[in-house]
Structure 1
Amino acid sequence: MNDFWQTVLTFSQTLTEKIGTSLLRDFGKVKATQKSDGSLVTKADRWADEEIRRAIAETFPEHGVLSEETIHILPENDWCWVIDPIDGTTNFTHGLPIWGISLGLLYKGTPVFGAVRFPKINQFFHGYWYGNSGLQGPTGAFLNGEPIHTSSEEPGGGRLFNLCARSTAIAANPFPCKFRLLGVATYNTLLVACGAALGGVEATPKIWDIAAVWAIVQGAGGVWVALEPEPVFPLQPGEHYGSRPFPSLVASRSELVPIFKPLVQCIAK
């Protein structure tokens, strides 16, 4: 099994580096169009999506694919990659350096591995979280090959909590941390994984915003809390996930959930 995980990691590192190098040529130079759900897409998103799907089909022909740009119905395959070719398209088109390429690997509908590369700032995150899957292999979470861990600090005026564009109403009320909003769902979450922030909230993330970082955050010691009654995972084969949001809270450790959750639960209503 360890050979399999090494293949998965090497594939993710090599592919995201290749795609990222090519995307840098279009960074800040392409125009976006609006999709039916209000999100943006560019020719660069579509190109990267096609290249990633082709590479998966060649390297893991028995694996399925779920992708923001093309495939929204979960296939029957036990193993399935979830792709976001450019997370942060708005940043990408406006020349802002925080945007990434996200790859999550599901086993029977639940993420067990994630990899996200941010080419412009030269950061590659990856991590493993097997939960109740029965799988074994490497553990933990990493940034550029070095282990990362969530923070053990207490909330306070000098600590950070990340918001998304649709959760800014939270800032109108007293909160025990300073807010940051960076415009990229995966990066907001990964700042919790590497200890820079104590928590974060996403009001309307889609499955491609979540799949990779779900594994990385928990591999780093963090917790993921669904803000709706139904759990996020496992996903169900045959279900359409193109328009379904998954309001979520991420915290650096379980003790902070009772502090943060009442303050952010309103975004799921």
Structure 2
Amino acid sequence: MTLSAERYAEFDAFLLELNRASGAAILPLFRADHGLVNKLESGFDPVTEADKGAERAIRALIAERYPDHGVIGEEYGEDRPDAEFVWVLDPVDGTRAFIAGLPLWTTLIGLRHEGRPILGSIGQPYLDEIYIGGKATGSRLVGRGTETPLRVRPCPKLTEAIICTTDPAILTGPELGSWTQVRAAARLARLGLDAYGYAMVAMGKLDLALDTGLKVWDVEGVIPVVEGAGGIVTDWHGRPARTDSGKFAFAGDPACLEEALVTLRRSAVD
């Protein structure tokens, strides 16, 4: 079923409301006592009360406004994941940045209709930034009292590109080899941005973001924003990205992406 412009506008407004509610839950704990807990007995997978409190706030609003909608969240799991409309939540993407006091964490909220991501948002409340939109509506930056359209920039040559990945240390040997070659070809590379890097692709500040090991809540809020800004999202084979594919490339210019894929395909064995 195709949604009307009025329906898109309704969900767009609700996305902004959800971002403000999550920000109200998170900001008092940023650079404060955030109740850090390690999820793992061996290793380090942090979660804070900001993660949990923000997801609770978002879920409460969805249950009140759209009780028939499903929800998939990183902290509290699935509720009716096969519903016609499903909200996909990562309340604090970049928890390591959050606990380090760095304003590079984001709140990711996506809306899935009949199994397909249609709208999304990347919110950074400390900076008063919400990157929001979808392929059918276009994307924009909302914050600081203004709204600015988002548009990726042309960058046909990888040698001219600014690229990013979250952390090379989490890449497998073949993946790290591919990243190292792509990085060597690019003009500039930045690390540790998490989903804020994907927002910068949509804004036309970065040209290519590469990551692996991503979960559904890491990407469903992002894909519509990047595509709505004119960008492209694929796996490391160059195929249209499935939200369960793990390896993702977020790009502004297909020509730049295609140059990177020559190397990336060598490590994309899935």
TM tier, smaller: 0.7 to 0.9
| Aligned 1:125-204 pairs, distance under 5 A | 125-130=131-136, 139-144=137-142, 145-155=147-157, 159-165=161-167, 166-167=170-171, 169-170=177-178, 172-173=180-181, 174-184=184-194, 186-204=195-213
1:209 to 197, 218, 221: 218
| Aligned 1:1-269 pairs, distance under 5 A | 1-29=4-32, 30-36=34-40, 39-72=45-78, 75-130=81-136, 139-144=137-142, 145-155=147-157, 159-165=161-167, 166-167=170-171, 169-170=177-178, 172-173=180-181, 174-184=184-194, 186-227=195-236, 232-233=241-242, 246-265=246-265, 268-269=268-269
Q: CA RMSD in A?
A: 2.4
Structure 1's 128 and 229: CA in aligned 2 closer, same or farther, altered over 3 A? closer
Corresponding residue for residue 136 of structure 1 = none
Question: What whole-Å deviation, never above 9, does each CA across 1:181-228 have from its counterpart, x for those lacking one?
Answer: 1342x2121111111111110111111110011011111111111126
Between stretches 29-38 and 6-15, larger displacement belongs to: 29-38
* Cα pair 2:123 2:131 within 8 Å, conserved: yes
How far apart, in 1, do the equivalents of 2:129 and 2:266 lie? 33
Structure 1's 60 and 73: CA in aligned 2 closer, same or farther, altered over 3 A? closer
Between stretches 92-101 and 155-164, larger displacement belongs to: 155-164
Note the residue ranges of structure 1 that are not aligned, 5 or more in a row: 131-138, 236-243
**Shift, 1:51, TM fit:** 1.2
How many aligned residue pairs are there? 251
Note the residue ranges of structure 2 that are not aligned, 5 or more in a row: none
Question: What whole-Å deviation, never above 9, does each CA across 1:161-188 have from its counterpart, x for those lacking one?
Answer: 011213455453332231111342x212
Q: Counterpart of 1:172 in structure 2: which amino acid?
A: T
Between stretches 1-10 and 42-51, larger displacement belongs to: 1-10
**Shift, 1:22, TM fit:** 3.1
TM superposition score normalised by structure 1: 0.84
**Shift, 1:5, TM fit:** 2.0
Between stretches 96-105 and 254-263, larger displacement belongs to: 254-263
